[in-house]
Amino acid sequence: MSVWNYVVTAQKPTNVTHSCVGNFTSPQELNLIIAKCTRIEIHLLTPHGLQPMLDVPIYGRIATLELFRPHGEPQDFLFIATERYKFCVLQWDAETSELITRAMGDVSDRIGRPTDNGQIGLIDPDCRLIGLHLYDGLFKVIPFDNKGQLKEAFNIRLEELQVLDIKFLYGCLKPTIVVLYQDNKDARHAKTYEIALKDKDFVEGPLSHTNLDNGAGILIPVPMPLGGVIIIGEETIVYCSVSAFKAIPIRPSITRAYGRVDADGSRYLLGDNAGLLHLLVITHERERVTGLKIEHLGETSVASTISYLDNAVVYIGSSYGDSQLIKLNLQPDAKGSYIEVLEKYVNLGPIVDFCVVDLERQGQGQVVTCSGAYKDGSLRIVRNGIGINEQASVELQGIKGLWSLRSSTNDPYDTFLVVSFINETRVLAMNMDDELEESEIEGFCAEAQTLFCQNAIHDQLVQVTANSVRLVSSTTRELLHEWNAPSGYSVNVATANVSQVLLATGGGHLVYLEIGNGKLAEVKHVQLDYEISCLDINPSGENPNYSTLAAVGMWTDISVRIFSLPSLELLAKENLGGEIIPRSVLLCTFEGVSYLLCTLGDGHLLNFLLNLSTGELSNRKKVSLGTQPIMLRTFSSKDTTHVFAASDRPTVIYSSNKKLLYSNVNLKEVSHMCPFNSAAFPDSLAIAKEGELSIGTIDDIQKLHIRTIPLGEHARRICHQEQSRTFAICSLKNCQTSNEETEMHFVRLLDDQTFEFISTYPLDTYEYGCSIISCSFSDDNNAYYCVGTAYVLPEENEPSKGRILVFVVEDGKLQLIAEKETKGAVYSLNAFNGKLLAAINQKIQLYKWMLREDGSRELQAECGHHGHILALYVQTRGDFIVVGDLMKSISLLLYKHEEGAIEELARDYNANWMSAVEILDDDVFLGAENNYNLFTVRKNSDAATDEERGRLEVVGEYHLGEFVNRFRHGSLVMRLPDSEAGHIPTVIFGTINGVIGVVASLPHDQYVFLEKLQANLVKVIKGVGGLSHEQWRSFNNEKKTVDARNFLDGDLIESFLDLSRSRMDEIASSMAVPLEELCKRVEELTRLH
Amino acid sequence: MGSLLGDWPSYDPHNFSQLRPADPSAQPSKLTPATYHPTHNRTLPPPNQVISTEARNILLRHFYQKSEEKLPPKRAASDHPTSEHNCKQPRAAYADGAH
């Protein structure tokens, strides 16, 4: 039963909705603060660019973000208002690097009609009050007292009901707002009001301007000494103040964002809906405005927010494309653009549709999204884990070890690749033609398995075999010295660095050698109680050539011990518990923090903090990486050290913000790995896997990889066809002819490897592609693309005509095989019992695939079901059909084969406006609706009465805070059948803000456990700005607000791993669970996404 | 147009001085700052800074204001026959009256 669900974010929101610049973190530091719907990010301006400081989750959808400077304060405060009528004022405490709440509150009214044009929040430039326009006909005032403290808020009646924008004017004795509004004849005007704080009322203000541009939408108040306001229309820009009125015509465009450049307000950047950036200049003489000028600068992503930063660098925040950092140049480039893009920041939003595919056929899903809008439309390939891009491979069975060697200490590149087998050692070397060929190092023993080898000081090489340690000159390649194992003993395990060798022979003998010039010296020898299973002397202290610590893993007592070098004194011992022996240990340092990593034979990894001077181990943590023994190796990528854990589920261990992270490597099984950096294969890894040795480069080390395929048009639907190895998309392109804008709609075919358009089918004028699937029909094995369309005519409220088009892919071309006219928009298509199920306006319609006498095929209507407002989203399972309606929530239909009919079984009687539905299992269905909530409903087939059976029972409710456009079954991670997480069914969702999330259906006991953890976490992790987690996650629409149930906030639960050790301990003890166990269970969850 | 485009504001000349433009064909970057999870007690504001809207309905407030506006002038007329401006400076007003 999929009633207990865990919701977690795999990709955080990327849509930038607001931005502002000010001195937030210190009076001297300039910060860019950006809002991504439910998060804010604080950046610092530096010589090297934007430096990210903090990502702050907000328990609300941000409606207003403003920096302001209260009187007498040395730095700015941040005002945030949320869509659910909460606000807070935040201050940065530089001493503790914490965000402090200066004030917060609830600004909701019991009565009031929420504004249609969004919420407006603004702060008086002289810091006398905060103004909010949240409900039609009301303006809310939160006054500041003379000490900068906020006082009780009050409402003022605002006569204008259709408000488009409100701003404070500068330089007014009394706080004065300018209101841009539309009257009931659709004419637009601007007027001003002074706010009389004492009387709590408006007084008519100094300015008023009637019958503005019909597209007037944005007000820009101009600072003193000029004062006044600029009104941005679609065809004109107007400046007006008490003393001046200026207007200029502009090329028709819809301005979406502006940013002030100069503190005196003489220049502004304007961004329009085509992504064009203009500079608006107020010309003035002796504080008198003489005119307006506008200059085209160039093209950016379509801006939702513009912030001038410093030294001609501007931040462009975008909802429809990647956000950008741009530089304004003095001279135009060859294309006439004054804009130079310095950096792009990925934005997946709006995700309108996506599909989950396994392109590399590795059993791991990738998400391909339809992202962005208008000219910034793109496909994004989102993949979890780290890819290896194979450059070369050779078949080699039975590899037991792998090392790379340089031919001299100073050589930047590796020359040799030493491959060890059970009875021999082979040496591969790069030849003059940069090819890898079999070679020889004369001083090495080739007839035995190499246990370890290593470049050593003085241009020497070290090879350890069962019988001896050989020191070889790397220039002459001749044996210089040999240390032989005592007779009767053989070396079992060995390790070395450039100046030290540590090895263990049978009987628990631990031998320590130091490497001299042409000489190996046995320095110390101890006998331990048990056999030694693994060891390491990787230098993690200050001296990169010499380690003062040795890590040793033991059989029998299952422990790991730290010894000092050269004395081999025991410094610390940690019993690992259980019966599984340690198989690999590694001393390493990430971001200045030293760790001991230790892997067990069953695929677990333990990590400890290591005190380099005392050898003490602390903060033990355990994670499960795979099921087979793991071999650990360090490697470098982009000057940072990472650890490769080779096993049945290869993983890269790396550190980010001083926290260890684990990222899957997209390979099935790796037995050994070593870094191999040669001229022909720079920065590569040599990898031994399944009878093969391969060399490849590694992706950037991060968890989620996003690849962008720019389309230059807006993709709205996508689907993949395995048989033809293609994607098909429905897309639309905006075409600008001389003075008219037209839309063209297409069905396009893309190669699933190159993502190039290989075939296009243009749709008719006014015809939109609404749905697309790949399917086959009964008694016809061909794979078809079926496309549902609608004719969207300007004079019709709802489309009354559409088509279903059936294509086959032949020679890489879309061939139209059949088409069927419909009486409305085909919002959804599903393959259903070898037939085609379509949702057409109010109706669900089933089509058969019929063979005509001439051998051609056609779609023939079989049966249908009426009774929806608009059937927008349809999912099927067996004979069951789940419909998500525009207004009428979810209903469940059944197809009856014998009667050839579709009947309604049950419905949810709530009036939810749906945005996506999915079937979780036979009985439970998941829905997303337009107030950003998720809910689950359950079929009541065992109920006693017909009435109850006809009702879908709401079993789970949750406020996601995101508008979900699509659910799809699937997983972003490789699912191992024998891991615990492998059995948890997951659904992926994509949202307008570019969030990719996962809904995981948990077993009941796990749900109960995590619910308890969540309850404990809420007490420890506070909401920023004093906002409440419980209120944030409560299901909320116009009709009701109820506490979340049967959904857990995975983002909160997984933030457990970010807590300090003491906080973790606190929570573990209050839950009466060992901390190691708790960490492991949460770590498991992070591997769901 | 050089005059319009030049002279961009500079708050700290060092900012962005060492930033080189990225390869235009490069994939967009992902900035990943650390996520903030406050555990301190100052996420709650001082008690007097938990703001709510005054309870009195806007219409009722309007009525009361109207009635207050009507009443005081009567009293003011009997107590202080001078204007409201003078009320704020009673001593001066009396002093004036004494002349």
Q: What is the pLDDT of residues A652-706, one digit of tens each?
A: 999 887 888 888 888 888 999 999 998 888 889 999 988 899 999 888 777 788 9
Among A781-790, A923-932, B14-23, name the one with the lowest average pLDDT: B14-23
Residue B97 has pLDDT above 80, yes or no: no
Nearest chain A alpha carbon to B32:
A52
* Residues of chain A positioned with their CB less than 8 A from the CB of B58: 138, 155-157
What are the phi and psi torsion angles at A254 (to 5°)?
Answer: -105, 115
Q: What is the DSSP letter of B47?
A: G
Q: What is the DSSP letter of A886?
A: S
The tokens describing A458, both together, are: 């003085």
Check: CB of residue A177 under 8 Å from CB of residue A120: no
* Residues of chain A positioned with their CB less than 8 A from the CB of B1: 295
Residue A716 has pLDDT above 90, yes or no: yes
A338: nearest CB among B5, B18, B20: B5
B43: nearest CB among A281, A657, A1026: A1026
Check: CB of residue A527 under 8 Å from CB of residue A500: no
Nearest chain A alpha carbon to B57:
A155
**Residue bearing tokens 């399944």:** A690
What number is the average pLDDT over the span B1-19?
85
Peptide bond into A143 cis (omega under 30): no
Share of chain A above pLDDT 90, in %: 85
Let me know if A446 is exposed, middle or buried by CB neighbors in 10 A (0-12, 13-18, 19+): middle
For the segment A1019-1075, what is each residue's pLDDT rounded down to a tens digit? 999 999 999 999 999 999 989 999 999 999 999 999 999 999 899 999 999 999 999
What are the phi and psi torsion angles at A1006 (to 5°)?
Answer: -65, -40
Residue A980 has pLDDT above 90, yes or no: no
B35: nearest CB among A55, A261, A325: A55
B51: nearest CB among A103, A325, A327: A103
Between CA B90 and CA B85 the distance in angstroms is 10
What number is the average pLDDT over the span A806-813?
95
User: How many other CB atoms are found less than 10 A from the CB of residue A694?
Assistant: 21
For the segment A576-618, what is each residue's pLDDT rounded down to a tens digit? 988 999 999 999 999 899 999 999 998 899 999 999 999 999 9
Check: CB of residue A1024 under 8 Å from CB of residue A90: yes
Helix, coil or strand: residue A558:
coil
User: How many other CB atoms are found less than 10 A from the CB of residue A29?
Assistant: 17
Between CA A157 and CA A140 the distance in angstroms is 9
Note whether A310 contacts B24, CB cutoff 8 Å.
no
Note whether A1024 contacts B45, CB cutoff 8 Å.
no
Check: CB of residue A759 under 8 Å from CB of residue A816: no
Closest CA to A342 of B21, B45, B12, B65: B21
Nearest chain B alpha carbon to A39:
B35
**Residue bearing tokens 């040395």:** A74
Residues 6+ apart with CB under 8 A from A939: A892, A905, A906, A922, A923, A924, A925, A952
What number is the average pLDDT over the span A923-951?
94
Residue B83 has pLDDT above 80, yes or no: no
What number is the average pLDDT over the span A347-375?
89
Among A170-174, A382-386, A743-747, name the one with the lowest average pLDDT: A382-386
Let me know if A754 is exposed, middle or buried by CB neighbors in 10 A (0-12, 13-18, 19+): exposed
Helix, coil or strand: residue A153:
strand
Helix, coil or strand: residue A672:
strand
Check: CB of residue B32 under 8 Å from CB of residue A85: no
The tokens describing B20, both together, are: 């080189």
Closest CA to A169 of A146, A184, A190: A190
Q: In Å, how far is B73's CA from the nearest CA of chain A?
A: 16
Note whether A99 contacts B38, CB cutoff 8 Å.
yes
Residue pairs between chains A and B whose CB atoms are closer than 8 Å: 217
Q: What is the DSSP letter of A983?
A: G
* Residues of chain A positioned with their CB less than 8 A from the CB of B20: 342
Between CA A453 and CA A462 the distance in angstroms is 5
Residue A271 has pLDDT above 60, yes or no: yes
The tokens describing A971, both together, are: 């997983």
For the segment A985-1004, what is each residue's pLDDT rounded down to a tens digit? 999 999 999 999 999 999 99
* pLDDT, averaged across chain A: 94
* Residues of chain B positioned with their CB less than 8 A from the CB of A657: 33-34
For the segment A449-494, what is each residue's pLDDT rounded down to a tens digit? 999 999 999 999 999 999 999 999 999 999 999 999 999 999 999 9
Note whether B15 contacts A310, CB cutoff 8 Å.
yes
Note whether B14 contacts A47, CB cutoff 8 Å.
yes
Note whether B51 contacts A105, CB cutoff 8 Å.
yes
Q: What is the DSSP letter of A352?
A: -
Between CA A1083 and CA A624 the distance in angstroms is 8
Helices first, then strands: H and E counts in chain B:
4, 1
* Residues of chain A positioned with their CB less than 8 A from the CB of B15: 30, 45-47, 309-311, 313
- A391 confidence band (pLDDT: 50, 70, 90): confident
Between CA A194 and CA A660 the distance in angstroms is 56
The tokens describing A608, both together, are: 């400890």
Helix, coil or strand: residue A1081:
helix
* Residues of chain A positioned with their CB less than 8 A from the CB of B62: 157
Residues 6+ apart with CB under 8 A from A1079: A621, A622, A623, A1056, A1057, A1064
What number is the average pLDDT over the span A507-532?
95
Considering only residues A975 and A893, tell me which one the structure prediction assigns the higher pLDDT: A893
What confidence score (pLDDT) does residue A357 get? 93
Among A6-20, A635-649, B57-71, name the one with the lowest average pLDDT: B57-71
Helix (H) or strand (E) holding A1064, with range, is helix A1061-1071
Note whether B39 contacts A1021, CB cutoff 8 Å.
yes
A262: nearest CB among B2, B9, B16: B9
Between CA A635 and CA A142 the distance in angstroms is 57
Between CA A283 and CA A281 the distance in angstroms is 6
B22: nearest CB among A103, A343, A1024: A343
What confidence score (pLDDT) does residue B95 get? 40
How many residues are present in chain A?
1089
For the segment A530-540, what is each residue's pLDDT rounded down to a tens digit? 999 999 999 98
Q: In Å, how far is B69's CA from the nearest CA of chain A?
A: 11
Residue A495 has pLDDT above 50, yes or no: yes
Angle at B43 between CA B42 and CA B47, to 5 degrees: 75
A47: nearest CB among B15, B35, B41: B15
DSSP letter string, A92-140: EETTTTEEEEEEEEE---SS-PBPTT--EEEE-TTSSEEEEE-BTTEEE
Between CA A304 and CA A273 the distance in angstroms is 9
Note whether B50 contacts A341, CB cutoff 8 Å.
no
Q: Where are the beta strands (DSSP E) in A970-1088?
A: 986-991, 996-1001, 1035-1036, 1041-1042, 1047-1049
Note whether B51 contacts A142, CB cutoff 8 Å.
yes
Nearest chain A alpha carbon to B54:
A154
Let me know if A707 is exposed, middle or buried by CB neighbors in 10 A (0-12, 13-18, 19+): middle
The tokens describing A843, both together, are: 């109706």
With b meaning 16 or more CB within 10 Å and e meaning fewer, what string describes B73-89? Answer: eeeeeeeeeeeeeeeee
Q: In Å, how far is B61's CA from the nearest CA of chain A?
A: 9
The tokens describing A663, both together, are: 């990222």
What number is the average pLDDT over the span A31-55?
96
Between CA B56 and CA B61 the distance in angstroms is 6
* Residues of chain B positioned with their CB less than 8 A from the CB of A1020: 39
What number is the average pLDDT over the span A136-151?
94
* Residues of chain A positioned with their CB less than 8 A from the CB of B61: 154, 200
Between CA A34 and CA A41 the distance in angstroms is 5
* Residues of chain B positioned with their CB less than 8 A from the CB of A107: 51, 53
Q: Please tell me the number of Cα atoms within 13 Å of A770 on its side-chain side.
A: 28
What confidence score (pLDDT) does residue A961 get? 97
What residues are paired with A405 via a beta bridge? A416
- A176 confidence band (pLDDT: 50, 70, 90): very high
Between CA A507 and CA A1015 the distance in angstroms is 52
Note whether A107 contacts B32, CB cutoff 8 Å.
no
The tokens describing A574, both together, are: 């940690």
Q: 3-state SS of A12-34?
A: CCCCCCEEEEECCCCCCCCEEEE
What confidence score (pLDDT) does residue B24 get? 67
Pairing label, strands A425-430, A436-439: antiparallel
Helix (H) or strand (E) holding A682, with range, is none
Between CA A667 and CA A409 the distance in angstroms is 32
What confidence score (pLDDT) does residue A11 get? 95
Pairing label, strands A924-929, A933-938: antiparallel
Check: CB of residue A801 under 8 Å from CB of residue A764: no
Considering only residues A433 and A549, tell me which one the structure prediction assigns the higher pLDDT: A549
Closest CA to A827 of A859, A853, A810, A802: A802
Between CA B33 and CA B30 the distance in angstroms is 10
What confidence score (pLDDT) does residue A625 get? 84
What confidence score (pLDDT) does residue A365 get? 82
Q: What is the DSSP letter of A591?
A: T
Considering only residues A121 and A392, tell me which one the structure prediction assigns the higher pLDDT: A121
What confidence score (pLDDT) does residue B90 get? 44
Note whether A279 contacts B5, CB cutoff 8 Å.
yes
Q: In Å, how far is A562's CA from the nearest CA of chain B?
A: 32
- A789 confidence band (pLDDT: 50, 70, 90): very high
Note whether B45 contacts A152, CB cutoff 8 Å.
no
B11: nearest CB among A30, A155, A340: A30
Q: Please tell me the number of Cα atoms within 13 Å of A441 on its side-chain side.
A: 34
What residues are paired with A597 via a beta bridge? A586, A607
Residue A1 has pLDDT above 60, yes or no: yes
The tokens describing A224, both together, are: 């003193």
Note whether B28 contacts A346, CB cutoff 8 Å.
yes
